[in-house]
Homo-oligomer: A and B are copies of this chain.
Amino acid sequence: MAAHHHHHEPQGAELSTAARATLEKSGEQWTTMRAQIFETLAGFDKPASAYDIAEAVSKAAGRRVAANSVYRILDLFVGANLARRVESSNAYIANAHPDCLHDCIFLVCDSCGQTTHIDNDRITSGVRSAAEAAGFSPVRPVIEVRGKCADCD
């Protein structure tokens, strides 16, 4: 790994607090709905689709929450780096350290769906420079690896 860089990986309530701080710092409100969606997303152990989240929040809150509300809020979260979208799964995952910005790499297990995330700045900056070398202005690298996790292997 390139630059080490120790994350203290907050979980549960502590993670929500960190997420809230980040979101508010960007001028957005931390509403009840947003908190519920964030906590639900963080509670999944693998990437969740907007519909998974809508269903879980509906059940937990005892009232119907529509998918489009979930999408709005997920988009906001992705923009604020509180969550990431896993493109090859059409699903979202909470960001364990919203305060620090990385291009990240997801390892997605095709058999159990577990998705882990690694940081490797040497690789991601290599991808960015290769794109630049081709006359392209990179905005968002999408680097995901489909395969088998250690447990399923």
Binding site for B on A (CB under 8 A): 87-88, 105, 107, 109-110, 116, 118, 120, 122-123, 126-128, 130-131, 134-150, 153
Contacts and interface: CB of A to CB of B under 8 A. Distances in A.
Given A123-B126, A123-B127, A127-B123, A138 B145 contact: yes
A144 B142 contact: yes
Contact of A137 (B126, B131, B147): B147
Contacts of A105: 127, 130-131
A105 B89 CA distance: 18
Contact of A144 (B87, B149, B153): B87
Given A118-B130, A123-B130, 6 more contacts: A105-B127, A105-B131, A107-B131, A116-B136, A123-B123, A142-B142
- 8 closest Cβ contacts across the A-B interface? A135-B150, A139-B147, A138-B147, A142-B144, A87-B88, A137-B148, A140-B146, A107-B136
B140 A145 contact: yes
A107 B88 CA distance: 16
A116 B107 CA distance: 24
Contacts of A110: 139
A150 to B, nearest CB: 4
Contacts of A122: 126
A139 B148 contact: yes
Contact of A136 (B120, B141, B149): B149
Max chain B C-beta neighbours (<10 A), residue from A131, A143, A145, A148? A145
